[in-house]
Amino acid sequence: MAVKKLGISFPEDLIPEIDMLSKALSKTRSEVIRDAIKKMIDDYRKQQSIAKAETIYKEIASEDKRLADDFLSICAEPVTAYKAAGKTKKYETPKKR
């Protein structure tokens, strides 16, 4: 993987925390900072996916509710019974060739 150097500024009180963490994890400062940024990017992407999914599921739920309401209103209406006139034709299974 190609690496590019960036100049980044940190508050002075954060440097000892980064150094302590890098020592505890046996990593360099750069590795600790890289890992933290990667995690933040992953978390942000997950957050965006969850927000998008939530919007989609809310739309589906709303549409399902409308469909259920329409169906129930149709079922609640009185239905006229119809009878077929004459004999019903018996269905025969098609013969195999």
Asked whether 54 and 60 are in contact (CB, 8 A), the reply is no
- pLDDT at position 96 is 64
Domain ranges of the chain: 14-76
Stated pTM of the model:
0.59
- pLDDT at position 88 is 58
CA dist 48 and 39 (Å) reads 14
Asked whether 21 and 32 are in contact (CB, 8 A), the reply is yes
- pLDDT at position 89 is 59
Which stretches in the chain have pLDDT values below 50?
none
